[in-house]
Structure 1
Amino acid sequence: DSRSRYIKIGSITYRASRNKLSRTRKRSLPPTPTTSRGSSRQQRILVIRGTTYHMDVSGKVLRRAPASSQSPGASLSRIDIGGKTFVERLPGVLSQTPSSETRTYLSRTINRSIHRMRTVNTRKLERRSDRYCMFFNRFGRCNKGASCTYIHDPEKIAVCTRQVIFFLEFLRGTCKLSDCPFSHKVAPEKMPVCSFFLKGRCTSNPCPYRHVKVNAKAEVCRDFAVRGFCTEGIKCKRQHVLVCPEYAANKKCPRGNRCFLAHRDQAAKRKHCEKSASPVDLEQRSVPQWQ
């Protein structure tokens, strides 16, 4: 059609006929310099429903061409082009609405945010896929369930806390919890050091506790204390004790009284309380309820 023209809106080129706009592919916009009111700046010409409009260089204002240069037709009060909305503010002059600009900006922002979030989540999943879940290892449960990006390995769950407090009662068959979340399987990677062994007075044979003597000034094994599992097992040169590693190293703990691990100056008090407290009280105090 010889009457067809090419216009460019934003970065998209359209073919304009008498009553429609068609998006073109891989075709550059031919220069169509026109002048209006003495201006030498380039404008774009649109033919919409048989009416010719001039779009200014900013792409935000449409001006109806003089009636003498086109066939008579009704003036449009609203035009939607390429996701942009133009509304007639003055006779023959249509301006892009702020809401249209806002929608375009928000749409681009949302798309960027979604892309960024997907990229970050993918990177986190790739980075964390080889690490074990601290909560699942230490407490035998994780509220995130299948959505957790860390590994949930039943073999790495810490030994039943009643073992440490009540002298291995589950080994004697006295752990009555049918749904106990902790492991009832003794392994060197999960057991604390034997205090009697350190004093040279252990008479248990076999003893389920760890018989490894390390330097008295060695740091507390964070993996064992916090996660309940140390991959190094008997080869670990750090202390396998159930005390707070932060408090042991710095004499202070950011969690304060909310910390579920023993602080050194609380050890004597905790030992005294364990003699008089009930098993339920001890379990609730030793294992916090993570929400």
Structure 2
Amino acid sequence: MSTAEEQELLAQINRLESRIHRHKNQHSQPPAYSRGIYRTAPYSRGYRGARSHAPTYRNKTLVLNGQARPDATATHTDANSSGAAWVSRTDRHLQLINSSVFEKDSQARASAMEETQRLKHLKKEQMEKNRFLHYVRQNASSIPSAVAAPNAAASKYEITVEGIRFQITKQGSKLVRAPDNPSSATPRLATIGGVRFYRTKNGNLVRHGIAKAQRMAGGIKKVNVPCKTFSWTGSCLKGPNCRFIHDPSKVAICRDWLFKSDCPNGDACDLSHETTEERTPLCVHFANGKCNNDSCPYVHAEHSQTDPVCRDFGLSGYCERGAKCPDRHVFECPDFSNSGACKNKGCKLLHRERASVLRHRATTAGDNDEDMPDLSSDDEGDGPAPDDIDSDEMEEFIGHDDQVDELDFSKDYIGF
């Protein structure tokens, strides 16, 4: 090879090396920190006496042959098409699970949780029953009120609660009141041996576990009476556990809609936006003969200021009799307006006194005293309280009494 060719080749090599060095200098950055210095930056690994490392960058993008990055629209479309098949869940850490697997796993978890609650309830039920039987066995000979009935079956054991004798039945789950007991009322709640018993409507006592099982099974006896809270506010915190009826078509009218013909909640309002005569109060100007509004939303009915306030409308904001109701439909407390006293300490209704009503009440006070029943007499007496448990509904949770109870008190221990 001639000298001219060698020089030309060396020149090309030098030019190529220069281009390579320039390309490297453009795409490589030196470390931002010196060697051997400890730093708390997220990607630093330096420590004393160690070599420095180049920082690690996340979310890298590999570009081959100068191809452009994928379009963001296409990526978004692919994510949406595949997103329906995946579900994110946070269980100690964020997880991405297939929707079909997630559904099966959720059903299995729900079944497992339900089974765990059932076994836990059964365990507590057995412990409560054993605790009561242990108490009866330990105190049958020392407490005069808990003695065995003579010439009776093995299940006829009696126990006295506040001077009232009860027979122990259903393996200690039910205490039946003896027929020759005094006329005193059964206590609503009695604690015997650390176990609570609740009164039934028949005057008997049932164990706490039985009453709780009835509540958990939805054993709430519904009554055909509208819920006052739901009718007045449009919602009830008790939900399905409320004893009363929740009828969305019989709720009170929205005050904002009645006064302004507009409601900020719109269709999401729990109250009614229908100005019907069943939920609309009386027109005050019509009662005075001065209503000139042809589109008046209030009810035009003949009533005197001395007429009593409708109790249904006052407490619920709705009265099925509408304009035909003989009482006044106003937003006032019916107890205070009609009798001058309200026993509800937390009453939020309007307590309004009128001179004409007071004069009318004063003139008729003498005639009404003899006919006025005692308002508190309904809460007294020996009758069952409203919160008493229905004995018929308890039987399915206690079991049948076809066989004689075998209360074995000969053992020296009771298993817990």
TM-score normalised by length of structure 2: 0.34
Greater relative contact order (Cα < 8 A, sep 6+): 2
Give 1 or 2: higher strand fraction. 1
Give 1 or 2: higher helix fraction. 2
TM-score normalised by length of structure 1: 0.48
